[in-house]
Structure 1
Amino acid sequence: MAEVLYSKHMFAHRMEHIPFSGIRDVFEECNRLESEGRDIAHLEIGRPDFDTPEPIKQAAIEALSAGEVHYTSNWGIDPLREEIQQKFERENGLEYSADDEIVVTTGATEAVLITILALVDVGDEVLIPDICWTYEPAIRMAGATPVRYRLDPERGFQPDGDSLSEAVSDDTALLVVNSPHNPTGSVLTPESIATIADVAVEEDLYVLSDEIYEKITYDEPHHSLAAVDGLYDRTVTVNGFSKAYSMTGWRLGYLAAPRELVDPIIRVRQYTTTCAPSFVQHGGVRALNDASLWRPLVDAFAARRDRVVDRIAAIPELSVPEPAGAFYAMPTIPDEFEDAETFTTRLLREAGVATVPGTVFGPGSERRFRIAYSNSTDRIDTAFDRIEAWLHD
């Protein structure tokens, strides 16, 4: 066998700070247990369990049949950008040019990454919520440092204004906000939005507003940050089709911002995925053409939210602020357990219920775990029946 030669530099140093996804670790453990014949109640997967609405699928099929299989503009196809422009104006009170202020991306994840790479320099600091989805690896890949600001569970995981202000330094370049929020299900209140706006304007920060769960709200209505006085010129709004239209596998997202901010972003985009798949973009046009396609999904999530809250309330060892949006809840773990990883690992292996430890989302949730109610009501009940039996056995 030929000798294997190793370079003294096996990989880029930046990768020392890029961990594997903790959610994928749970997913792989589920696969192992299911391969052994175990029945697992899945509350860990952050994706809708519904099929994509038929009219959207049909639009993509028609585009394929019509030969829409080639590269598109880096910006996206004209009809989709025009629909996105009208959506922003109609639903968010925001005006953008379809020509040079809207970019169609390969999922909202790409939109987040290229925005960070375009606006954040090596040595900069980026403010992110503690707790939050995986923004940190993208920030570290840009050579920047993530700095966390606190979310207050006593106020439904709203940003703590003092913590946010104290997190700002001379090196802060960007403030990341996510509402509705993954993993807590919180939705920014008008008071929290005003706090964020005050800090961003006073400290002259760019804002990345991740609004991918925009349509999935129950109590508090969604407000786009860019519509707030002082934020339009400094905000990149990220959105997409994965959640409200159950299109996670389609990989279709978009961003919008004033052209001065989009200019560096589109240049990064040219050297990443080039464009979203052409026929997929036609599915996006159909999704935005119909104002009602997303409604049945959101209605189902609202019913599931209520069921999850009721089931948690019936277990004395658990407590949770009621989610106002998205399809997540972030309960506390019982006092008897050392930490969230121990709790969720034992819950999976001993009771057959898959959840995600809060430590995946930041140190502020080390005694919490995430439930994704992106499963049927019957399976949610099965999961909670198992949790109750396991805790009280």
Structure 2
Amino acid sequence: MTEIPYSGIREIFSECNRLERNGEDIVHLEIGRPDFDTPSPIKQAAKSAIDEGHVHYTSNYGIQPLRDRISAKFETDSGISYDPEDEIIVTAGASEAVFVSIMSMVDPGTEVLIPDPCWTYAPTVRAAGGTPVRYPLDPESGFQPNIEVLDSLINDDTSLLILNSPHNPTGSVIDDDHLRAVRDLVVENDLIAVSDEIYEKIIYGGAKHRSLASLDGMYERTITINGVSKAYSMTGWRVGYLGAPKALADEILRMRQYTTTCAPSISQYAALRALEGDLFEPLVEAFADRRALVCERIEDVPGMTAPTPEGAIYVYPTVPEPSTDGREFVWSLLHDTGVALVPGDVFGSNSSRVRIAYSNSLDRINTAFDRIEAWVENQ
């Protein structure tokens, strides 16, 4: 457990809770949690599930109607054909899907390629006995993977590559040229890929999401992970899912049997309703407005710059002048002004950036940046 650190995001969140208990007004831009209520039709589906007695264990794979719906979604949205009988696994959030995939695919002593920066894949890789190896995302290209460096990192010990698009924490969406280049490296080196697509529905402007498993040669070697938490504001319902060819899904299911057994039965019926319609669209429209405001306000902060995010709910700017260290800036800002961000070193090797989650209202975003600008002026 000395190799497994406490979550840096939760460290900030816990300090926010302490400050709020002491009466401080905290503007939360640190947590990747949509602040909207879950849409009413989804909540009603959960209430109906309770009334109808759907309150027991389900199959380790998940309830059949939800697996059927997920299979149809993969076919329609991504052009991937997963058999709902044994190639779809419903999990207790996408986090569990990531966990059981890594734990079942990584042998002790092998290396796993993870983006730099990225969400917290590294601790699970270490828990599985593997070694996380970071491949850089280039801010000059909008945080696309640096393919030359990625290629140079692959060796005989490399077993797995993790891709996340739309991306946390940068908001980047991998373009077709880089996606195909990643595919080529995975196929040429006989790797397994985990494609984390939890922000798939949260896309802006002309950006296009494409699933890695849809490319030639990738279906048989890719685990595709998604869920309902982000696009449908259902983080507390704990429903994620993965699709994988049977040979990989069989391995993952065995690991999954010894974790949570099944996602909450009531939540699975709520997720079924979520995936039956376009209930995510108003949420994405609101996020687009927030993104525009955050990017506009960043331009007014000296030294704070970032590529415009194409997806997800984050922007990943440099720290403002005269600061140079993201961790020092974040903690000082929190204690001095009550604005909560996350330092860049939580996500990777770059300590001069911070993550801003636009998971708060337009008014609160304006309040946060008013405080940031005033703080910078006083330095």
Q: TM-score if structure 2 supplies the norm length?
A: 0.98
Q: Distance in 1 between matches of 2:116 and 2:101?
A: 20
Of 237, 251, 254, which residue of structure 1 is paired with 2:241? 254
- Larger displacement relative to structure 2 (35-44 or 101-110): 35-44
Q: Deviations over 1:244-270 (max 9, x none)?
A: 000000000000011011010011111
* 3-state SS of paired residue (2:200): coil
Of 74, 89, 105, which residue of structure 1 is paired with 2:91? 105
Q: Deviations over 1:82-115 (max 9, x none)?
A: 0001101111111110001000111000000111
Q: Distance in 2 between matches of 1:198 and 1:69?
A: 45
Q: Which residue of 2 aligns with 1:331?
A: 317
Q: Deviations over 1:124-159 (max 9, x none)?
A: 100000100000011011000000001000011000
List runs of 5+ in structure 2 lacking aligned partners: none
Letter in 1 for 2:198: I
Q: Which residue of 2 aligns with 1:126?
A: 112
Of 280, 283, 289, which residue of structure 2 is paired with 1:294? 280
Q: Distance in 2 between matches of 1:129 and 1:162?
A: 14
Of 269, 291, 316, which residue of structure 1 is paired with 2:302? 316
Q: Which residue of 2 aligns with 1:266?
A: 253
Note if 1:167 corresponds to 2:153: yes
Note if 1:83 corresponds to 2:69: yes
Higher alpha-carbon Rg: 1
List runs of 5+ in structure 1 lacking aligned partners: 1-14
- For the 8 Å contact 2:321–2:376, the answer to whether it is kept is no
Note if 1:392 corresponds to 2:377: yes
Q: Which runs of 4+ in 1 moved over 3 A?
A: none
Q: Distance in 1 between matches of 2:298 and 2:367?
A: 13
Q: Distance in 1 between matches of 2:176 and 2:26?
A: 40
- For the 8 Å contact 2:303–2:319, the answer to whether it is kept is yes
Q: Which residue of 2 aligns with 1:198?
A: 184
Letter in 2 for 1:266: L
Q: Distance in 2 between matches of 1:223 and 1:197?
A: 12
Q: Distance in 2 between matches of 1:123 and 1:351?
A: 45
Q: Which residue of 2 aligns with 1:148?
A: 134
Q: Distance in 1 between matches of 2:306 and 2:324?
A: 19
1:336: Cα distance to partner? 2.3
Note if 1:214 corresponds to 2:200: yes
- CA root-mean-square deviation: 0.8
Identical-residue share of aligned pairs (%)? 59
Letter in 2 for 1:295: E
Q: Which residue of 2 aligns with 1:245?
A: 232
* 3-state SS of paired residue (2:2): helix
Letter in 2 for 1:67: G
Of 16, 30, 50, which residue of structure 1 is paired with 2:16? 30
Q: Which residue of 1 aligns with 2:355?
A: 370
Q: Distance in 2 between matches of 1:194 and 1:338?
A: 36
Q: Distance in 2 between matches of 1:26 and 1:108?
A: 22
Q: TM-score if structure 1 supplies the norm length?
A: 0.95
Of 206, 217, 233, which residue of structure 1 is paired with 2:220? 233
1:41: Cα distance to partner? 1.0
Note if 1:56 corresponds to 2:74: no
Q: Distance in 2 between matches of 1:283 and 1:241?
A: 10
Note if 1:279 corresponds to 2:266: yes
